[in-house]
Amino acid sequence: MDMAVGRVDEKTMSTLAGDSNLSKVRGAEPPSFVRPSRALWLVMALLAVAFVVIYQSFFQYQLRWAIAEPSDWGHTLLVPLLAVWFVSLRRDRILDRPLAPSWSGIFILLIGITIYMLGSVGPKQLFHPLVRAGGVCFSLLGLIVSFAGWRCFKECSFAFCYLFAFGIVITKRIMNPITNDLQDLSASGAWLMLFALGYDVDLAGNTLTVYDGAVAHPLNVAEACSGMRMLVAFLALGTAMAYLGLDRNWQRALLILLGIPVAVFVNVLRVVTLGLLSRYDAGFVSGEFHMFVGMVWLIPAFLVFLLLMWIVRKLVVETPPTPTPAESGERGLRFRSSPLPLMASCLAMLTLGAVGVQAALAQLDVFLSKKPVPLVASLDTIPSRISDWKQVGSEPEYSDAILESLGTSQFIDRSYSLVDGLNDTILKIHISYYTGTIDAVPHIPERCWHVSGLSQVGNSTVVPLDIGQQGWDLESEGAYRKTSVVHPITGIESRVTMPQGEPSLQLTVFEDPKQPDLRMLAGYFFVANGQLTPNAFGVRSLAFNWSDEYAYYCKVQFSAIFRAESPDQEFTGEFMSMINQVTTQLLPQLMRCLPDWQAIVSEDLEPAPAPDPLSETESR
- Under the banding of pLDDT at 50, 70 and 90, the label for residue 113 is very high
Tell me: the pLDDT tens digits for 368-388? 777 888 999 999 999 988 888
503/521 Cα distance (integer angstroms): 18
Tell me: the pLDDT tens digits for 510-536? 888 878 888 899 999 999 888 899 987
Average the pLDDT over 97-103 and give the result: 90
Q: Which amino acid is at 263?
A: A
* pLDDT higher at 98 or 364: 98
* pLDDT higher at 20 or 257: 257
- Tell me which DSSP letter residue 328 carries: P
Residue 607 pLDDT exceeds 70? no
pLDDT of residue 290: 61
Report how far apart the first and last C-alpha atoms of the chain are (Å, whole number). Answer: 64
CA distances from 429 to 1, 384, 416, 468, 555 (A): 73, 11, 8, 20, 10
pLDDT of residue 108: 94
Tell me: the pLDDT tens digits for 225-269? 556 777 787 788 888 888 888 888 888 888 888 888 888 888 888
Is the distance from CB of 277 to CB of 195 less than 8 angstroms? no
Q: Where are the domains of the chain?
A: 1-30, 37-172+333-364, 175-314, 379-470+479-615
Bridge partners of 4? 35
pLDDT of residue 286: 60
Q: How many residues does the chain have?
A: 620
- Under the banding of pLDDT at 50, 70 and 90, the label for residue 26 is very low
In a 3-state reduction of DSSP, which class is residue 264?
helix
Candidates 560, 437, 450; CA nearest to 505 is: 560
Average the pLDDT over 390-399 and give the result: 82
- Under the banding of pLDDT at 50, 70 and 90, the label for residue 21 is very low
pLDDT of residue 609: 43
Is the distance from CB of 208 to CB of 202 less than 8 angstroms? yes
Q: What percent of the chain has pLDDT over 90?
A: 20
By mean pLDDT, which of 45-49, 294-298, 525-529 is the weakest? 294-298
Tell me: the pLDDT tens digits for 546-577? 777 788 899 999 999 998 888 778 888 889 99
By mean pLDDT, which of 6-20, 341-355, 469-483 is the weakest? 6-20
Is the distance from CB of 526 to CB of 539 less than 8 angstroms? yes
Average the pLDDT over 1-12 and give the result: 41
Checking 510-516 for CB contacts under 8 A at 24+ apart, the result is 510/445, 510/449, 510/454, 510/455, 510/456, 510/457, 511/454, 511/455, 511/457, 512/453, 512/454, 512/455, 513/204, 513/453, 513/455, 514/204, 514/453, 516/567
